[in-house]
């Protein structure tokens, strides 16, 4: 036997041993239910049936199961992203690897028809109610921190959409862009998440307060409290990147004397109450730490401040979860409706609950893609 044949046998045996080791490791490793790094549930071992075998669903689910439960999966994902970065790749899964360790979601030009429709739904809402309605869109990292994007990265204009919304709306428009732009050198957005930080939310609050004729509480009157130094957000989860440093979560507004109630509805339309908190710190122990603001997603929530004053309604996305605490200085109650889950008449809700003013507030990417704003006009 020649040396080359011996070498080939050795390499083949080494490969088989390596493959066998991984197969054994996969077989012996317990399945995981949830990936903290990816912030999603992982596929479990599917049960075969005649229906799923014939349709091919079983093999599809089994392939996903093998991928999701592969031993050292998180490490392989990190290695893949690091390799792609070393080879000059600037994007993965729609996320750009930006300067200063910033992960920025690619913003694409939206569907013009959907934008027009959503603006018309806001106008219909204004026509249906007898209270002042304020409206704004929040520009995101891709707009305010565009200078952090890789050179030549495609980036549709969000300011053009702000101009379009201002021109089209019948609501009282207020612009969050100038306030955020003026503080663009501060930590107004998370680097690993799509939301603004509490500091960014404060500057958004000052823009709203000015538009509503309120005197915003000076930032200097708050005591900043850091509640987490280990926050990796949604953009981190989808990017595959594992080398960036974590974000910090801060709060400014004390929650003394403030109660929060979340309402869902049973099949008969009757409200079901669930107590929540302004800051639910139990979420700081899990991946989705941003959910500590108001306890995360909810159809309808009501913040009661214990003070005398008017009642405000926020029709919103999750950006307002960190803005709402600042508004507690001005209102007795702040009602929050998420149209992804709330499917009753908003106009009726306003009448039934004595709401004095309403705000429609979304981030630009959420507003231009949301299919639920149609409920505003009903």
Domain boundaries, the chain: 3-92, 103-377
The pLDDT tens digits of the residues spanning 207-227 come to 999 999 999 999 999 999 999
Taking the complete model, does pTM exceed 0.85, yes or no? no
pLDDT of residue 336 exceeding 90, the answer is yes
Q: Give the model's pLDDT for residue 49.
A: 79
Q: What is the mean pLDDT of residues 289-318?
A: 96
Mean confidence (pLDDT) of the chain:
87
The pLDDT tens digits of the residues spanning 116-139 come to 999 999 999 999 999 999 999 999
The pLDDT tens digits of the residues spanning 58-70 come to 666 666 665 555 5
The pair of structure tokens assigned to 28 is: 């012996």
- pLDDT band of 238, cuts 50, 70, 90: confident
The pair of structure tokens assigned to 373 is: 């704003």
Higher pLDDT, 148 or 62: 148
pLDDT of residue 40 exceeding 50, the answer is no
CB atoms closer than 10 angstroms to residue 291: 17
């Amino acid at each position: 036997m020649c040396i080359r044949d011996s070498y080939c046998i050795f390499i083949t045996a080494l490969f088989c041993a390596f493959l066998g080791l991984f197969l054994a490791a996969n077989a012996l490793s317990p399945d995981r239910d949830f990936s903290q790094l990816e912030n999603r549930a992982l596929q479990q071992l599917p049960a075969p049936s005649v229906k799923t075998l014939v349709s091919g669903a079983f093999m599809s689910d089994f392939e996903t199961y093998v991928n999701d439960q592969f031993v050292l999966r998180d490490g392989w994902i990190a290695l893949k992203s690091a390799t792609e970065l070393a080879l000059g790749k600037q994007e993965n899964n729609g996320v750009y690897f930006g300067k200063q360790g910033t992960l920025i979601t690619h913003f694409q030009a939206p569907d013009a028809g959907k934008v027009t429709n959503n603006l018309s739904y806001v106008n219909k809402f204004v026509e249906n109610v007898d209270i002042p309605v304020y409206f704004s869109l929040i520009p995101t990292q891709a707009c305010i921190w565009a200078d952090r994007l890789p050179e030549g990265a495609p980036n549709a204009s969000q300011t053009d959409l702000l101009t379009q919304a201002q021109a089209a709306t019948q609501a009282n428009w207020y612009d969050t862009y100038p306030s955020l732009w003026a503080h663009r050198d501060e930590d107004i957005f998370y680097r690993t998440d799509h939301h603004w930080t509490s500091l960014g939310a404060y500057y958004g609050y000052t823009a709203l307060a000015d538009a509503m004729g309120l005197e915003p509480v000076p930032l200097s009157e708050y005591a900043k409290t850091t509640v987490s130094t280990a926050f990796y957000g949604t953009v981190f989860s989808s990017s595959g990147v594992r080398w960036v440093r974590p974000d910090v979560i801060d709060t400014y507004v004390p929650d003394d004397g403030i109660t929060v109630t979340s309402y869902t509805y049973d099949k008969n339309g009757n409200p079901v109450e669930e107590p929540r908190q302004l800051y639910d710190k139990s979420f700081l122990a899990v991946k989705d730490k941003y959910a500590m603001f108001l306890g995360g997603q909810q159809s309808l929530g009501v913040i009661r401040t214990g003070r005398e004053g008017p009642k405000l309604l926020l029709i919103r996305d999750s950006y307002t979860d960190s803005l709402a605490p600042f508004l507690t200085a001005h209102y007795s109650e702040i009602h929050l409706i998420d149209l992804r889950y709330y499917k009753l008449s908003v106009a009726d809700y306003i009448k039934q609950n004595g709401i004095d003013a309403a705000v429609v507030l979304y981030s630009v990417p959420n507003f231009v893609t949301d299919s639920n704003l149609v409920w505003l006009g009903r």
